[in-house]
Structure 1
Amino acid sequence: MTQTALITGASRGLGAALAQALAPTHHIIAVAKTTGALEELDDRIKAKGGTATLAPMDITKPEAMATLCRGIFDRWGHLDLWLHTAIHAAPLAPADHIDTKDFAKSVAANVTATGTLIAYVAPLLGESGQAVFFDDPSAGQKFFGSYGATKAAQIALARSWQAETRHTGPRVHIATPAPMPTATRARFFPGEDRSALNDPHAQAADILAQLAASPV
Structure 2
Amino acid sequence: MQTPRPSPSAVNKARAQQQERAPGSWNKGRWMLVLLAFVCAAPVLASYFMYYVIKPTGGTTSYGALIEPQRPIPEQLVVTDEQGKPMPLSALRGKWLMVTVNSGDCDEKCVTRLFFMRQVRVLQSAERERVVNVWLRTDNKPVSSVIQTAYPQPDMRMLIADPKAVAAWLPAGADSKLTDHIFLVDPNGNLMMRFPKDPQPEKIKADLAKLLKWSRIG
TM-score > 0.5 by shorter chain: no
Structure with greater contact order relative to length (CA < 8 Å, sep ≥ 6) = 2
TM, length-normalised to structure 2: 0.31
Structure having the higher helix fraction is 1
TM, length-normalised to structure 1: 0.31
Point out the structure with max Rg over C-alpha: 2
Structure having the higher strand fraction is 2
